[in-house]
Amino acid sequence: MDNHQPITIDRKATEADRQNALRQIYFQILERQPYEYERKELAKLEKDFLKGKLGIRHFIGELVMSSVYLNSFYYDCSNMKFVEWTFKHLLGRAIQGSEEIATYMNLLMMEGVSVFFHEILGSEEYRKAFGCFTIPYAREAKLYDSPRNYLQTNLLQHEHVGQRGKIVPTIYWQQLGMDCETGTCVMPDAKVVSTHPEANEPMILRSVNDEIEELLQMLQKSDAKQVLQSMNENQKSLLRTLAK
């Protein structure tokens, strides 16, 4: 999504203004307009917004908790990618470092999506950037921490849903030098073809994407010591890389 001028809708806005705002909210949060069958679930929410009963922040809070949003960005995605997408949609920026993603990953896993969304929408950053009546938009920082942070932000803001898969967030696939342009993240050397000794047929090495997905599932278990003991050397190496 490209940057655009902020759109603000207050209590005095006309229904036409709210219709326009509604379309922009969907572009920002869903990155598309709802499908016809999804409109049925959103019908009452839309009606209340168009009648001025809901402000933008309240409407967005309800939208992200709907199955329309969760089906698109949560249920079949890794928690890390979900956190990244949420920052893009609600705060208009990329995640700033592994410490920030770890903080919100922990909140999501320990408290659930409702508390996770409440924390972001109720944050000081959201209040100062958008308040209750401005639609979130892709923000450009006046000063980036590093060239890498600038590149990650630019890549994320112009990324289509599923373009680089639903597992590895930008902050990691870029650092690891992975190729995610086909929708499945792989290391460059994962494309090397080997030959099976018996069948004598080419085999593609296992995608790093699968390794990370398996690792993410393991990390959600409560017994950290048991999880660590069950990891192979490749997974331990990958975990050390992600923790940097």
Q: How many CA atoms lie within 13 A of 70 on its CB side?
A: 13
Q: What is the rounded CA–CA span in Å between residue 81 and residue 232? A: 23
Sequence-separated (6 or more) residues with CB below 8 Å from residue 24: 7, 135
pLDDT at position 43, please? 97
Taking only Cα atoms into account, the Rg of the chain, rounded to an integer number of angstroms, comes to 20
Q: Which residues, 6 or more positions from 20, have their beta carbon under 8 angstroms from its beta carbon?
A: 7
- Judged by DSSP in three states, 167 sits in coil
Question: Exposed e or buried b for every residue in 11-48, given b needs 16+ CB within 10 A?
Answer: eebeeeebeebbebbbebbbbeebeeebeeebeebbee
Superfamily of domain 1-164: Phycobilisome linker domain (1.10.3130.20)
pLDDT, tens digit, 9 for 90 and up, residues 163-213? 666 777 776 655 656 666 666 667 666 544 444 444 444 444 445 555 565
pLDDT value of residue 219: 52
Q: What does the pLDDT read at residue 185?
A: 66
**Regions in the chain scoring below 70 on pLDDT:** 1-4, 141-155, 162-165, 171-185, 187-244
Number of H helices, E strands in the chain: 13, 2
**Could you state, in order of their start, the residue ranges of all structural domains in the chain?**
1-164, 188-243
The residue written with tokens 């393991």 in the block is 218
The span from the CA of 40 to the CA of 207, in Å, is: 39
This model's pTM is above 0.85: no
Residue 82: what pLDDT? 94
CB atoms closer than 10 angstroms to residue 114: 11
8 Ramachandran zone, left/alpha/beta (phi>0; psi -120 to 50) = beta
Residue type, 172: Y
